[in-house]
Structure formats: C-alpha cells, structure tokens
Amino acid sequence: MKKTLPLLFGMVFGAYAVIEFYIPHHLVGSLSDELRSWAAILAAAAFIIGGINILQVTWPKIRRREPDWQYKVVLLAAAAVMLLAGLPWHKLGDTPATPTVLIEAVPGPAHLVVNAPADVTIQVGAVIAPPRPDGARYQADVGPGTVEVKLSRRVPGYRTQLAPITITDGQRVTVTGDPPMLWGREGRVFVWIYDHIFSPSNATMFALLAFFVASAAFRAFRARNLEAALLLGAAILMMLGRAPLGRAISDVFPDLAQWILDVPSNGGRRAIMMGAAIGAIATALRIILGIERSHLGSDA
C-alpha cells in the first residue's frame, strides 16, 4: 500500500496531465485549474515546512555552539526581520491618516496653505511645488474651484495622501499632512532592505562569476586534443566578436562570431534540445506508466 498508492497517484495524475492537453472541453479546463490551485497551495504550505526545517537544522547548531554558529544567528535574525518587515502592519488598527483641512473666511482671493515636513513633495493639481528645504509651509493664491492636493514622500515606502478641496474667493484653506510609513512589500523597511542589502548581495554573487570564468579559463581551456582546440578557438572568436573591441580590431570578428552562433552553435544546440526533449518524454512516460519505480525504493 505504501508504494502502491504513490504509484497509483503518479499514474492517474500523470496520465491526466498528458490527456488534458488534447481535450479542450471546459470541464477538463476547470478541473485542471482546480488541480493547479491545489498544487499552488501545497507549494505554499511546503514553504512553511521549509522554514521549520531551517529552524530544526539551525537551532541545535547554535545551542551546541558548533563552528560558525554566529552565522546561523545572522541567518535566523535576517529571516525574522524580513518576515516582520514584509507583513502589512499598517493595515492593522485605525484607518490611515488623511490630511486635515481647515477652511477660514479671509477676505481676498482664494488662498491655499499646505503644511508638510520638508521631505514631502506637495502637488497642487498638476503643479508641483518647489522644494522647501527648511520645511516652510507652502502657500499660494489659487483659482476658485475644486483642486486636489497630493502629498508624497520622495523615497518609496510611504502612503500618498490626497486631499480634494473646493475653494472659493474669500477663503483660506489650510491643508496639513504627513504621509505615513507603509509596511509590507511596498513598505519603507522592506524596500530599504531590498535596495541596500538584497540587491547588492545578489549582484555581488553574480559578479563573482567574472573571476571564476577567468580562473576556469586558465585551468580548463587547454588544447589537449582537436576537440579541446576547437572549443578554445571558438571561445576566443566569440569573445572577440561579441565585445565592441573585436569590431574595433576588424569587422571579420563580429561576422565570424555571428556565423558560429548561427550555424554550428545553433545546429548543435537544436540537436541537444531535441534529444533532451525526447529523453524527457520517455522519462515522463515511464514514470506515468509505472515502469520507473526507483523513487519508491529499490524493492518497489
């Protein structure tokens, strides 16, 4: 039963996945959508298991002060910080603050005053107010009618505040606002961590490839035999052809590089792709048909 049930599941759902490609009927489509939803839910649930696995593996190492346990503390702390920063805390509690609007009767033309911190951009209708480094209030005479005052911070991660006001001559309208910080994916903390920690770290790891390529090129591109010589010759020609330097030396290099790309590379690539695709179909069929059982144990 322990091996039969997984085998049966694999056969039934695998066969269904193949068959549904050929049946356009909407009932089959609905069932497929439902199964995809189940798969998405399972995958999401598995992330929780993954998180627990990280804790199960990491915590004992910290407790036992194994070598490099400090890095495990950094790992757990970073995971906790991102989790907390990614939750939309601003949706809890009271409704978000809106700008306050005070209307006073003051003789003269319609006058608008906006109070906001120095790092807030004030936009009145389509007009963006000039910067106010000293945080002074913005004020101007405006035409009577309805106008929207928009307050936003220059850095991302803050809510934009909107205040539509109707103003007439003989009125002074004072709008006071301070865009609050957001949490969650668009929040200040999350975006700051993304821009200042995740992005540079991500780019740094990718940049290591440049050094490793040079090191691997020194070590491995040796003309030991004809095939290796062809490989390194093609590599040099491609590098010269794809970089602007090659064209600066001679127009032959880019054309040669393009020919290598268009003819031998594409030909070989298509052959490997087709072979791999046929191999993938055969592998999938043998799992669906129950011929392949090594994933269930050697005595299945």
Partner 1 sequence: MKEHWSDRLQRFDRRWIFLVMGLAVVVPLFFPLGLPAKPDRMTKAAFNAVDALPEGARVFVSIDLDPASTPEIEPFFRAVILQLKRKNAKLVFATTWYQAPPLVDRYMRETIEVAIAPAGTAGYSGLNDRPYRKNVDYVNLGFRDGKGAIIQAFGSSLRLAFDNHADDGTALERIPMMRGLEKLADFDLIVLVSAGSPGAKEYVQFVGTRERLPMIAACTAVSTTDLAPYFQTGQLIGLVGGMAGSAGYETLVGKPGAGTAGADVLNIGNIVVILAIVFGNVVYFAGRYHRRQRGAS
Partner 2 sequence: MRAAALLLAVALAATVRSATAAPAPLSSLDVQPLPNDSGQHLHVTWTRTAAPAPGTATVILRARPGAATPDLAPGRKLTAGDALGPWTVVGVLEAGELDLTDEIEADTSYLYAGAEVLRAADGAITEASPVTTIGPRAAEAALFHRQRTAYLVIVLAIGLLIYWYVRAARTKKDLYIRRLPGVDAIEDSIGRSTEMGRPVLYVTGLEEIQNIQTIASLLILGYVAEKTAQYDTDLKVANYYPLTMVVAEEIVRQGYANAGRIDAYRPENVLFITAEQFAFAAGVNGIILRDRPATNIYFGTFYGESLLLAETGFLTGAVQIAGTAELTQLPFFITACDYTLIGEELYAASAYLTRDPVLLANLKAADAFKIAAMIFIVVGVALATAGVFDLGAKVFP
Residues that bind partner 2 (CB under 8 A): 18, 21-27, 29, 39, 42-43, 46-51, 53-54, 56-57, 60, 67-68, 71, 201-202, 205-206, 208-209, 212-213, 215-217, 219-221, 269, 272-276, 278-287, 289, 291-292, 294-299
3-state secondary structure of 120: strand
Stretch that binds partner 1, among 67-75, 78-86, 246-254, 278-286 (CB under 8 A): 246-254
Q: Is 36 a residue that touches partner 1 (CB under 8 A)?
A: yes
Q: Is 248 a residue that touches partner 1 (CB under 8 A)?
A: yes
Which residues in the chain belong to E strands, given as ranges? Answer: 100-105, 111-115, 120-124, 127-128, 138-141, 145-153, 161-167, 171-176
> Which DSSP string corresponds to 30-61?
HHHHHHHHHHHHHHHHHHHHHHHHHHHHHHHH
Residue 260 Ramachandran class (φ > 0 left, ψ -120 to 50 alpha, else beta)? alpha
CB of 242 to partner 1, least distance (A): 5
Which residues ranging from 203 to 222 are in contact with partner 1 (CB under 8 A)? 203, 205-206, 210-211, 213-215, 217-222
CB of 200 to partner 1, least distance (A): 8
Per partner kind, with CB cut-offs from 5 to 8 A, the member of partner 1, partner 2, none near residue 262 is: partner 1
Which token pair is 251? 């127009």
Instruction: Report the residue number, 127 or 282, with the smaller CB distance to partner 2.
Output: 282
Instruction: Report the residue number, 28 or 162, with the smaller CB distance to partner 2.
Output: 28
Q: Classify burial at 56, counting beta carbons within 10 Å of its beta carbon; exposed 0-12, middle 13-18, buried 19 or more.
A: exposed
